[in-house]
Amino acid sequence: MGGGMQMSFWAFACLFFLSFLQQAAARRNGFVKTKGTHFSVNGHPLFVNGFNSYWLMTIATDPTQRNKVTSAFEQAAACRLNVARTWAFNDGQYEALQTSPGVYDEHVFQALDFVVSEAHKYGLRLILSLANNYADFGGKAQYVQWARNAGQNLNSEDDFFTNPTVKGYYKNHVKTVLTRVNSITGVAYKDDPTIFAWELMNEPRCPSDPSGRTIQGWIEEMARHVKSIDGNHLLEAGLEGFYGESKKENNPGFYVGTNFITNNQIKGIDFATIHSYPDNWLSGSDEEAQLSFVKSWIQSHLKDGKRILKKPVLLAEFGKSSKDPGFDISQRNNLFGVIYKNIYASARRGGAGGGAMFWQLMAEGMDSSGDGYEIVLSQNPSTSSIISAQSHKLAELTHLLTKLYEYEKGGHAHAHPREGWHLGSTGGRD
């Protein structure tokens, strides 16, 4: 993997860059919608090949570092990635967006404005997460502490999901972000098609109630709240995909107080999400066992998405850490290959596979911020090639299905019913 290969890859990728941006500009004017188990824009199919970059707003608070956001987006667009997932929260921490309940740092909000504006420039859409389950960037622990400071007698971080004061704080944050008018574009977030979807929380968990009912009630209430403010955008809950009691055999050996089926059946939740970290969840097993789990994990959820939920399923996080014992880049590439193969097979068969988003994309010069899962596209040519190949295959599929859509519009709908296209076997199933 020498410098010659690295330069060759990027020279090749850049040949497609301008044409991709032009095509993306033509598509991004519409809001993303769902039609059955598929995403669509302006009636045309949309498949996600995306990435996570939680750090975008935080880095953008320093104007001298905003080039890292631009670089990440530029390299992502060159690989024809189309959706980024990032945080629209930082509660009470360093460079906080929300410094105390209902109090916001305008400088940090302008950093998020930059991220949204820059994403639009590079033909990317954003999934914006509105809170964190974990203490990083504040999370539900910060909300609970704020309520305690206000005189509430709370015993657990899980009171986040039930305490009226805490829920009021969260609802206010939702409204503040959704109604924010971008200082660069002049467009309110709730009116901006650059935003693919809102996410209620990153990986909500409620271990004090393993039945999933506590989180069920919270999602129901917050989904209604989001939709009362913004009827344009899709909404997802941020779930990892853990099942409840009825399908516990599909879990990697533990519960987190969520239920993939019932939580995603809630009205207002437009699509389901799953995450997959076999190196973390099955840390004592070998690569073969981890890859086998990934296949089963994906196929089980795609099957449920199609047959029970009747909604798209997005693999919103997956990755392989370079900090794992005995790590080799081929292990990461194998994982990406297995995941992309299953997602593409589902998409081609008309299944519920809406796409996948790896964790995580970083720019050059961010070595100190890495968590082991980071990928700098310009420095990882073999992995970048796999990512680009998936983008290319999904783009070809989109083109074909768009032609079928146009054929239908011409009065031939009975010949090609879109709600269940099947374009041949590719080795996956759902």
Known catalytic residue at 157: no
Helices 17-27 and 3-15 cross at an angle (nearest 10°) of 40
| Amino acid at residue number 34 | T
Q: Which of 203, 236, 240, 374 is catalytic?
A: 203
Q: Which of 118, 240, 317, 374 is catalytic?
A: 317
- Nearest 5°: phi and psi at 38? -125, 150
Known catalytic residue at 203: yes
Q: Report CA Rg, the chain.
A: 21
Point out the residues that are catalytic: 203, 317
